[in-house]
Amino acid sequence: MSRVLVDSSVWIEMLRNGESAAARRLGRLLQDGLVCTSGLIQAEILSGARSDREFEGLRADFSALTFLPDPPDLWDTVAVARYRLARKGFEASIADLVVAASACHHRKTLFTLDHAFERIKGVIRIDTLP
C-alpha cells in the first residue's frame, strides 16, 4: 500500500541526477510499492518533459502509481493555510499548499527536498521523511 507522496522536487532531482541520495531513496520506495502521486505533482512533472518520448515514458510511469484524488475541502484548506502563513510573514506557494493538503487529507508521509514544507507544517499537519 502506498504511504509516501513524493513531491515534485524529488522527482526533478531524480530526473536530473539519478545517482543522488534522494534518487536512490525514491528508487527504493518505488521498488517497495510505497509511492503515490497527485494530479498536481503529475502535471508539474509531465509538463517539464523535454521530448514526446520522455513525456510518454513519464506518463506511463505515473499511471502505475496510486493516484490521490483532491480532498473535498482542498481550496478552503489552501486559503486558510496561506492566510495564516502570510500573517507569519511567509508567502507559501499555492502548489506547495495543495501538495501538503493532499498529504494531510490522505494521511501520507511527504517526501520532499523543498524546505518550504517545514514552515507549512505549522499550519497543515504533515509528516515528512527525515
Q: Which amino acid is at 51?
A: S
Residue by residue, pLDDT tens for the chain (130 residues) are 689 999 999 999 999 999 999 999 999 999 999 999 999 999 999 999 999 999 999 999 999 999 999 999 999 999 999 999 999 999 999 999 999 999 999 999 999 999 999 999 999 999 999 8
Predicted confidence at residue 130, as pLDDT, reads 81
Q: Which residues pair with 100 in a beta bridge?
A: none
| CA 129 – CA 51 distance, rounded (Å) | 31
Predicted confidence at residue 2, as pLDDT, reads 81
Predicted confidence at residue 97, as pLDDT, reads 98
| CA 97 – CA 9 distance, rounded (Å) | 14
Domains of the chain with CATH codes: 4-128 (3.40.50.1010)
| CA 51 – CA 101 distance, rounded (Å) | 31
Q: Terminus-to-terminus CA distance in the chain, angstroms?
A: 20
